[in-house]
Amino acid sequence: MASSKAGPLMARLHAKPIIKRLFRALTWPLYALYCLTARISDPDASFASFSQFLSLFPGKTGSYLRAAFYSQACPNTSDEIVVGFLTLLSHRDTTIQRGVYIGPQCNIGKCTIGEDTLIGSGVHILSGNRQHNFDDPDTPIQQQGGYFEKITIGRDCWIGNSATVMADVGSHSIVAAATVVTKVIRQFAIVAGQPARIIKNRDKPEATN
């Protein structure tokens, strides 16, 4: 019985690298076109347009296409990732490490996502909490500028559905669904709420804040 199951499993393991190479070849012309358009227009705007296009492909085909493209276009990004249907990346300066799963309908800003992290559906990862200045009440907010910061989400984290993250999240942490992260979350923390607060520590289960 074990040997009968091992056969198909081994076949899939051998086929996966071939499939990834095939999709990398398929997306290379798209990546080359992106590089060309990025030279003659705003690079992030160009990247976001390609991300929007790639987000429309459903199923495993879409997952392989997105992994192949982002591993070429984004710095230090693995091709062993899953980026869900209708998920958008807004900045090329985004790093997604091996084993990351990003669910459908997410908006991903400038960030680094560590190995084996799970991102639920409908999650928003913003490029920091200073994207828009609003100190001058006499000037429209959209004209006051802002600052994009590269957020870091550590390895082996779980970000629940519909959470909003605008500050660093330490490794091995859990962010509950619909939580709003405005300040740095330490490692091994379980946080919930709007704004986020620590409800438990994974490394010290008996302690709460």
Comparing 188 with 142, which gets the higher pLDDT? 188
Q: Is residue 209 part of a domain?
A: no
Q: Is the pTM of this model over 0.85?
A: yes
Segment 13-19 shows an average pLDDT of: 74
Residue 2 pLDDT > 50:
no
pLDDT at 138: 78
Q: What is the per-residue pLDDT across 62-86, written as a single tens digit (0 to 9) for each? A: 999 999 999 999 999 999 999 999 9
pLDDT at 7: 59
Residue-by-residue DSSP string for 132-187: S----TTS-GGGS------EEE-TT-EE-TT-EE-S-B-TT-EE-TT-EE-S-B-T
Comparing 176 with 11, which gets the higher pLDDT? 176
Range of the domain at 76: 2-201
pLDDT at 142: 80
pLDDT at 31: 96
Cα–Cα nearest to 162, from 96, 109, 105: 105
Residue 41 DSSP class = S
pLDDT at 6: 62
The mean of the pLDDT values for the chain is 90
Q: Is residue 147 part of a domain?
A: yes
Q: What is the per-residue pLDDT across 46-67, written as a single tens digit (0 to 9) for each? A: 999 999 999 999 999 999 999 9
Buried/exposed code over 148-184 (b: 16+ C-beta within 10 A; e: otherwise): bbebbbbbbbbbbebbbbbbbbbbbbbbbeebbbeee
Q: Is residue 159 part of a domain?
A: yes
Q: Is residue 207 part of a domain?
A: no
Q: Is residue 208 part of a domain?
A: no
Where does the pLDDT of residue 197 fall: very low under 50, low under 70, confident under 90, or very high at 90 and above?
very high
Where does the pLDDT of residue 204 fall: very low under 50, low under 70, confident under 90, or very high at 90 and above?
confident
Kind and range of the H or E run holding 68: helix 59-73
> Total structural domains in the chain?
1
Q: What is the per-residue pLDDT across 98-127, written as a single tens digit (0 to 9) for each? A: 999 999 999 999 999 999 999 999 999 999
Give the SS3 label for residue 199.
Answer: strand
CATH of the domain at 166: 2.160.10.10
Q: Is residue 161 part of a domain?
A: yes
Q: Is residue 157 part of a domain?
A: yes
Q: Is residue 165 part of a domain?
A: yes
Residue 4 pLDDT > 60:
no
pLDDT at 137: 85
